[in-house]
Amino acid sequence: MKYLLDRRYRFRGWYGAPYGIYDTKVRSALFLDEALYRLLMRCDAVQEIETEKLADREARFLKQLEQEGIIRRAGLWDFLREDQRYRTYPARYRRVAHWSVTGACNLKCRHCFMSAPHAKHGSPTHEQLVRTVEQLAECGVFNVEITGGEPLIRDDLPEVVSLLNERGIALENIYTNGWLVDEPFLDMLEARGVRPGFQLSFDGIGCHDYLRGVPGAEERTVRALRLLKERGYSTAVSMCLHRKNAAVLRDSVNFLASLGVSSVKCGAVMDLGEWKTPEAEELKLTREEELAIFAAYIPQYFADGAPLALMLSGAFAYTPGEEEWFSVYHRECTPDEEGRALACGVLGDTFYIGADGLVSPCQGMCDCDIAGRLSSLYVKPLREILAESEYVKLSYATVGDVRNGNGECRSCEYVGRCSGGCRNSALIAERGYYGVDPDACTFFRGGWEEHIREAAAPAFAEYLKKLPPAAEKKAAPAERLPNCL
């Protein structure tokens, strides 16, 4: 019997992970063990596979692939397309790059952690942007999220979008303050066949202008959200919480839902960059105050029908239609698992490229002391940074590394349900990369996990009575592929 890999998939390999299948629909790769991968590579419409001679595991694997439509029985004139044939990349696999195309901004945000009002991290030349796109393609990074500063201030952004298209790199999301989002900009994207999601900031009804430092910023952001809804773009919002806007959290979430926003992330401002001023000290919420605001709001959120997906720092997250809400802080990891489980699961999937070319695990680390240990792709090739470097070491830090890397986590009574919290929060608190995250400590040791559960439980039960969870969705073939192993 001859089989053929569906045209949706590509045989691909990356440094340290040579047995990969790239799914062009969900734009993500999955990895198999060598034996099963070699069997799959025989599905090229040329090689015969004697199914009756396969081991049970291989036979089950092949059968499920056929059932899922990942492979099919080959016809006489079928062939494997050239772009499906196996190729490797000289870098570790990363699904997406979060990329600052400029360190400058047209607003004067009082809380900017990367000090964009002063363009502290500079702004790359056009030639550097072109070279970055080339390096992303060379490394097999097929998705980018563009951010800044404010990316839309770049006159050459249309050329960058075209370059990404030419290299087969998808523009997944644009992070913007919304001021420059208009019809011509969207026309430009659509002329290139690009429809990214948009991530905007909105810091509360009647409060946005204050934090953004420019009159009219709130009006422009709302106008952008309305336009994006009208044009059918997906939108998400981040809201930075402080003393001046905490009282409008509920109204702001409901207002954003009315504008078609699909999700809101809300949390206190990071204590970096512009936020380190005497004026900001009067606006900063303590972690206990922030968690108390969340505990009071969560029942209101469910009473309002959970109008959009919501994440409240690490304390609470819910997507409408799901059977359960969860806390990011609550992440169980047994001693047997801690040596394999990443300290931050996101860091195995994405990485950040700063306006200065610095490659780091995430954007919030660009102004922490760890930056001095990292490399710029303007100096060292990205393929080398993503293969073997300090960045790789940090991004693959495990829960065990964190528990062994400080004197508190291993002996903490909450170690069974806390995996150490956020590495960026630990750095901001000057505890070191493997140090404790004081925000996670407050959440558990202050009893806030119980407080939030008690506040949410009755409201969530009532919400589910009115809006029961949707039926379980069938996963896409690529998402089910690991279950074949």
Q: Is the pLDDT of residue 476 over 80?
A: no
User: Residue 481 pLDDT > 90, yes or no?
Assistant: no
The predicted pLDDT at position 471 comes to: 56
Q: Per residue in 32-56, pLDDT tens?
A: 999 999 999 999 999 999 999 999 9
Q: What percent of the chain has pLDDT above 90?
A: 87
Q: What is the DSSP string of 296-322?
A: HHHHHHHHTT--SEEEETTTEEE-TT-
Instruction: Calculate mean pLDDT across residues 247-276.
Output: 94
Q: What is the CA radius of gyration of the chain?
A: 24
Record the tokens describing residue 440, joined without a space. Answer: 């996670």
Residues in CB range of 258: below 8 A, 6 or more apart: none
- Assess contact for 155 and 386: CB atoms under 8 A: no
Residue 367: pLDDT band (50, 70, 90) is: confident
| Average pLDDT estimate for 281-301 | 96
CA distance 35 to 57: 10
Examine the pLDDT at 474 and tell me if it is beyond 80.
no
Beta bridge partners of 483: none
pLDDT greater than 60 at residue 482: no
Where does 119-165 show beta strands of DSSP type E? 143-147
Residue 11 clears pLDDT 60, i.e. is over it: yes
Return the pLDDT at 468: 80
pLDDT in tens, 64-119: 999 999 999 999 999 999 999 999 999 999 999 999 999 999 999 989 888 888 88
The model carries a pTM of: 0.93
Mean pLDDT, residues 356-369 taken together: 90
Count CB-CB contacts under 10 A for residue 391.
Answer: 23
Helix, strand, or coil (residue 330): strand
Report the pLDDT value the prediction gives residue 478, as an integer from 0 to 100.
44
- Check whether 60 has a pLDDT greater than 60: yes
Output the pLDDT for position 479: 44
Contact status, residue 448 vs residue 327, Cβ threshold 8 Å? no
Distance, CA of 363 to CA of 382 (rounded, Å)? 17
Mean pLDDT over each residue of the chain, to the nearest integer? 94
The residue among 145, 240, 245 whose CA lies nearest residue 201 is 240
Amino acid residing at 92: R
Alpha-carbon distance of 86 to 73, in angstroms, equals 20
Closest CA relative to residue 345, chosen from 277, 423, 284? 423
Q: How confident is the model at residue 297 (pLDDT cuts 50, 70, 90)?
A: very high
- 437 vs 429: CA distance, rounded Å: 8
Crossing angle of the two packed helices 157-166 and 126-138, in degrees rounded to 10: 20
Banded model confidence at residue 366, pLDDT cuts 50, 70, 90: confident
CA 255 to CA 244: how far, in whole Å?
Answer: 18
Q: Which of 157-171, 317-331, 358-372 has the lowest mean pLDDT?
A: 358-372
